[in-house]
């Protein structure tokens, strides 16, 4: 339950930009499972820091 629910306006915009980036790059990422794995591992590493 470490997720921050109270997002500031700035965080909301960054999240939206991230979603758009993922949408734009999903075709590239979809063709490269390796990239997907690296991004996933990076995300897990960031979460474990919290």
| pTM of the predicted structure, to 2 decimals | 0.33
pLDDT band at 1 (very low <50, low <70, confident <90, very high): very low
CA distances (Å), 11 to each of 4, 6, 7, 37, 50, in order? 10, 9, 6, 25, 17
> What is the tens place of the pLDDT at every residue in 2-49?
555 555 555 566 777 877 877 777 776 666 677 777 888 888 888 887
How many Cα atoms occupy the beta-carbon half-sphere of 15 within 13 Å?
Answer: 8
Domain ranges of the chain: 9-49
Which run of H or of E encompasses 26? Answer: helix 9-31
């Amino acid at each position: 339950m470490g997720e921050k629910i109270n997002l500031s306006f700035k965080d909301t915009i960054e999240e939206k930009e991230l979603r758009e980036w993922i949408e734009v790059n999903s075709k590239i990422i979809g063709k490269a499972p390796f990239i997907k794995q690296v991004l996933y591992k990076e995300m897990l590493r960031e979460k474990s820091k919290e």
